[in-house]
Structure 1
Amino acid sequence: MRAVVFEEFGRMPELREVPDPVPSPGGVVIRVAATGLCRSDWHGWMGHDSGIALPHVPGHELAGVVEAAGPRVAGWRAGDRVTVPFVCACGRCPACAAGEQQVCERQTQPGFTHWGSFAGYVAVENADVNLVALPEGLGFAAAAGLGCRFATAYRALTAHGRAAPGQWVAVHGCGGVGLSAVMIAAAAGARVVAVDVSPAALELARAFGAEACVRGPDGVPEAIEEVTAGGAHVSLDALGDPRTFANSIACLRRRGRHVQVGLLPPEAGPAAPPMDRVIAYELSVLGSHGMPAHAYGPMLDLVAAGTLRPDRLITATIGLAEAPAALAAMGTVGAAPAAGVTMIEPWSGSP
């Protein structure tokens, strides 16, 4: 199969022919119809994830068709249309037994713990725990984003942020996960303030339901406090930067809830919460790490009903040959892909 491969962290990946994967006894191989270009992939390529062994194929949010299943797989067969969470759980550890597969103690992650979905095929472990069937009518490109950005934003707002109609939700960083959060919060009846440095990203945020937009990075907490007449009830750092992290906490009103979604690798510098404010305002500071496969039902119902439109987030579609340059550009100011979500179609232009 064709795959995007890098031999060294930070060195430009290359498109190569590599051996096809084979399913483990309890796993499947998926023919990748679409896979998202995500900032987490850029972090992995830069070496910010210690679990990556070289050479490596990135890519972790995907949708496609089951190509082959191992002999222990009970619920899936070749031809099934599926997606998967970016955290693939073992199904056996105490966290999984409690239904918290997103923090599985023995989790695997395509594109991080093993070769990922910037390829024609990808292997997924423990298929009966991790595969999610796609509703009829949901295209592969829209479904691919559900495995990371969209599902992560959904659970961050519903399980952790508990965003309610009429409450103010601030979203810091309007990339894929941030725009997903804007759309989900607005659909829930919340009033959304979107924050970004890019006018194009803010324009998309407004189109997806943001009531107000703030252009950072300076003066963000003060601007949000003015717009909301006292501060946000819920705030998400969807970027993962010490400054957006600090702004997200500083913009909250009393008893507010901060949810950290964007990764904060040590290379970005310290991101210590202002505990004096956390204590004085009785703030909640929470982390959110994806969503388990068993929890996809309510989100998929909203997608099937047209209440949530992940397809509207896609602003560019590229092939595998364009993926190396697009991945590298994510860390370059002014050269990153356009606002919105970029999807890769591995079989585009291939037999």
Structure 2
Amino acid sequence: MRVRALVFEEFGGPLTVRAVPDPTPDRDGVVVRVGASGICRSDWHGWSGHDPDVVLPHVPGHELAGTVAAVGDRVRTWAVGDRVTVPFVCACGHCGPCRDGAGQVCANQTQPGFTHWGSLAECVALDAADVNLVALPDGMPFATAAGLGCRFATAFRAVTGVGRVRPGEWVAVHGCGGVGLSAVQVAVAAGARVVAVDIAPGALELARACGAEHTVDGAGDVPGAIAELTGGGAHVSLDALGAAVTCLNSIAGLRPRGRHVQVGLLPPVLGRPEIPMERVIAGELALLGSHGMAAADYPAMLSLITAGRLRPELLVTRELGLDDAGAALAAVGQEPGIAVVTSF
């Protein structure tokens, strides 16, 4: 059996759709027939050669939802036909971090679209299914669910679990792509007041639609603008893009004892930010990292979505066919909102 998939054979090279072997599940894993797969900046990093886990030729894609199509003989919780999504980090369930409830930093993690072929294909294999799969709420479309495994869940944990945003606090979000827009929505739902930063007018317009109280042009004096709008700086600031300038602006825009949360990837090939440690010390700032969200932590987020307090569907601005996925991946960041492949 063969399935259609998006494939690249050189970093930064052509992205073509062709037939590849149908995946089979490991004994503790499943194969999911993909109903929708998001196109994320992390996929762009993998295609660009910024991730050492990627081995050529490669099928990208790590944000997915679909239907279980095959089950390994050691899987106990899931059956063919179940509608599921999965975090982009598939945890082993046995290592020290997993035993501590921190599967998002599993020492033995696998990631579809990075450590093995991903979900921009008709089918994808997923590891340790009993640890990682998440059942979809009744009626949730695959297009909405696809963004939960990376961008929305990542933002949810970054805001609520790592940044520990409290009602009434000022939150600055630097970069209003999929993660940033999700962070705006989650922070507003948590009762925070949000300043959104980006260089694209369309992205700032979406941020306002998600509840941002103020927007700032990222090409200007961002820390100064945030200090003025918030009366002294943000309590919590997130770099949702992953660039030296957004990281530095996020730190510089904090008030004393503020919390910076690094969410966007900062691959060394793109340059490392010079962290102003003197400012960190003088202001007693906290510098925090956030890397996705484990499957066990999904219920709180899903309950807010089911109750209508979070609306991830509003962030999906384009539904594409697989044949259009290559061009969309190569152009990530050029159009606001989230692009999702929904036909294969």
> What TM-score bracket applies, with the shorter chain setting the length?
over 0.9
Superposed counterparts of 1:262-277, under 5 Å: 262-277=264-279
Shift of 1:273: 1.6
2:183 aligns with one of 181, 184, 192: 181
Indicate conservation of the 8 Å contact 1:258/1:286, yes or no. yes
Report if the CA contact (8 A) 1:118-1:346 is conserved.
Answer: no
- Counting only pairs closer than 5 Å after superposition, residues 78-97 of structure 1 correspond to structure 2 as 78-97=80-99
Of 328, 334, 337, the match for 1:340 = 337
* Residues 33 and 63 in structure 1, CA contact (< 8 A), matched pair in contact too: yes
Tell whether the 8 Å contact from 1:32 to 1:346 is kept in structure 2 after alignment: no
Deviation at 1:337, TM superposition (A): 4.5
Paired position in structure 1 for 2:15: 13
Number of the residue aligned with 2:197: 195
| Correspondence list, 1:252-263, <5 A | 252-263=254-265
Supply the AA of the counterpart residue of 1:264. L
**Among candidates 324, 327, 331, match of residue 325 of structure 1:** 327
Q: Which amino acid aligns with 2:277?
A: M
1:136 alignment counterpart? 138
Structure 1 residue 328 displacement after superposition = 1.1
- Structure 1 residues not aligned, in runs of 5+: 331-335
Report the CA distance between 1:346 and its aligned residue.
3.8
Equivalent position amino acid for 2:153 in 1: A
Q: Distance in 1 between matches of 2:137 and 2:272?
A: 42
Q: Which amino acid aligns with 1:121?
A: C
Q: Say whether residues 1:39 and 2:47 are aligned partners.
A: no
Counterparts of 1:268-307 in structure 2, within 5 Å, are 268-307=270-309
Shift of 1:272: 2.9
CA contact (8 A) 1:21 1:122 kept: yes
- CA–CA separation in structure 2 for the residues paired with 1:266 and 1:217: 23
Aligned to 1:333: none
Deviations along 1:137-188, one digit per CA (max 9) or x if unpaired, are 2111111100000000000011111111110000000000000000000111
The CA distance in 1 between the partners of 2:227 and 2:334, in whole Å, is 31
Deviation >6 Å, runs of 4+: none
Instruction: State the 1:338 CA deviation.
Output: 2.1
Distance 2:38 2:342 in 1: 9
Deviation digits for residues 30-51 of structure 1 (CA, Å, limit 9, x no counterpart): 0000010100000000000001
Cα distance in structure 2, aligned partners of 1:242 and 1:88: 28
Equivalent of 1:171 in 170, 173, 180: 173
CA contact under 8 A between 1:225 and 1:232: conserved in structure 2? Answer: yes
Q: TM-score, normalised by structure 2?
A: 0.98
TM-score normalised per structure 1: 0.97
Question: Where do 5+ consecutive residues of structure 2 fail to align?
Answer: none
What's the RMSD between the two structures over aligned residues? 0.7
Mapped to 2, the partners of 1:25 and 1:162 lie a distance apart of 38
